[in-house]
Structure 1
Amino acid sequence: MVIRVFLASSSGSTAIKKKQQDVVAFLEALKVEYDPLDIACNEENRMWMRENVPEEKKPANGIPLPPQIFNEESYCGDYETFFDAKEDNSVYAFLGLAPPPGSKETVSVGQYSERL
């Protein structure tokens, strides 16, 4: 399974840049393999991301902002849901991955576990 993180390499928004950096740094700290996909320089990536974010997760204007996180084709969430999972020590469940042995996270019945 490959975690796909849709990012914008040339965002003018400091908030978006910080959110992207937070997601990437956290995945790297956990040694989770991920594929960064740039939506600023690649129209295919941008269109795929926009088409595959569920309607109920899109903002009022209909255009989801990066970072958006997927496990292969399955939508995991945006920065806010990632942040919530991080705070709850449930990032692996959020990503649809089994937690490594000895991690603080255990597989439990919860809001993210349906993807396990």
Structure 2
Amino acid sequence: MVIKVFLASSSGSTAIKKKQQDVVGFLEALKIDYTQLDIASNEENRMWMRENVPGEKKPTNGIPLPPQIFNEEIYCGDYETFFEAKEDNAVYEFLGLTPPPGSKEEEEQASEED
């Protein structure tokens, strides 16, 4: 399974750049394999992202902004849902991945099963 992070390499928005850096930095810190897909320089990536973000997750103008996160073809969420998962120690669950042994998330799942 590959985590796909759709980014815009040439975004004029400082807020979007910060959100993209936050997502990528966090995935790297957790050593989670991911692929960056640029929507600014690749029309196929842009079209795929727009078509695969669920309708209820699209903004009123219908154009989702990066970063958008997928696990293969399965939509995980945008920056706001990623941030909530991060705050709740639920990033692996958010990404559809099994938490590694010893992680906070793995310990929480184990205590819930007891």
| TM-score by shorter chain over 0.5 | yes
Give the Cα–Cα distance (whole angstroms) in 2 for the partners of residues 103 and 19 of structure 1: 24
Q: Which residue of 2 aligns with 1:61?
A: 61
Q: Which residue of 1 aligns with 2:92?
A: 92
Deviations 1:31-85 (A, max 9, x none): 0000000000000000000000000000000000000000000000000000000
Identity %, equivalent residues: 84
Kindly provide the amino acid, as one letter, of the partner of residue 52 in structure 2: N
Aligned length: 108
Identify, as 1 or 2, the structure richer in helix: 2
Q: Which residue of 2 aligns with 1:101?
A: 101
Matched, 1:23 2:23: yes
- Which 4+ stretches in 1 moved above 2 angstroms? none
Give the Cα–Cα distance (whole angstroms) in 2 for the partners of residues 105 and 33 of structure 1: 18
Give the Cα–Cα distance (whole angstroms) in 2 for the partners of residues 20 and 63 of structure 1: 17
**TM-score computed with the length of structure 1 as normaliser:** 0.92
Unaligned runs of 5+ in 2: none
Kindly provide the amino acid, as one letter, of the partner of residue 69 in structure 1: I
SS of the residue aligned with 2:105? coil
Q: Which residue of 2 aligns with 1:114?
A: none
Equivalent residues in 2 for 1:41-80 (5 A)?
A: 41-80=41-80
Give the Cα–Cα distance (whole angstroms) in 1 for the partners of residues 11 and 91 of structure 2: 25
**Pairwise CA RMSD of aligned residues?**
0.8
Unaligned runs of 5+ in 1: 109-116
Q: Which residue of 2 aligns with 1:34?
A: 34
Deviation at 1:3, TM superposition (A): 0.1
- Larger Rg belongs to: 2
Give the Cα–Cα distance (whole angstroms) in 1 for the partners of residues 83 and 64 of structure 2: 17
